Amino acid sequence: MKKQFIVIGLGRFGGTVARTLISLGYEVMAIDRDIRKVQDFSSIITHVFQADSTDEKVLKELGVSNMDHAIVAIGDDLQASILTSLILKDMGIKKVTAKATSEYHRRVLERIGADHIIQPERDTGIRVAHQITSNNTVDY
């Protein structure tokens, strides 16, 4: 059976992850507390819900614990990002990928047990530096 993903937060990052997973043929469920985001994605994501991901009861009702992999794509609201990641790990989700917006945010997510932490600007900066200094790049 194909892996099932839950994306929490449909901002630029989470929205792109969700769209790409769908284009790759995966089943995706998504949650955002903003109804406008839910409406924007309702034509491409079958199971998209307006909910606050820090509400454990709601996550259970939506069947989030059956998902194989969760992506916590909440950036600005540190408390919501941390609480959501904690609840998902406590629910027994095997893989939790979480987005961090700072080094401290990353460290807290690590302590909680997030399996994979993305710090988009930092990670991209490192990748770009490697790309532009790799041997394949023309020196100019």
Q: Which residues bind ligand ATP (CB under 6 A)?
A: 8-14, 31-34, 37, 52-54, 73-77, 80
CB of 134 to ligand ATP, least distance (A): 28
What distance in Å separates the CA atoms of residue 91 and residue 64, rounded to the nearest whole number?
A: 9
Query: Minimum Å distance from CB 34 to ligand ATP?
Result: 4
Q: What does each C-alpha distance from 107 to 45, 58, 110, 113 come to in angstroms?
A: 32, 27, 5, 10
Query: 80 or 117: whose CB is closer to ligand ATP?
Result: 80
Task: Specify the residue, 70 or 80, whose C-beta has the smaller distance to ligand ATP.
Answer: 80
State the Cα–Cα distance between residues 45 and 75, nearest whole angstrom. Answer: 21
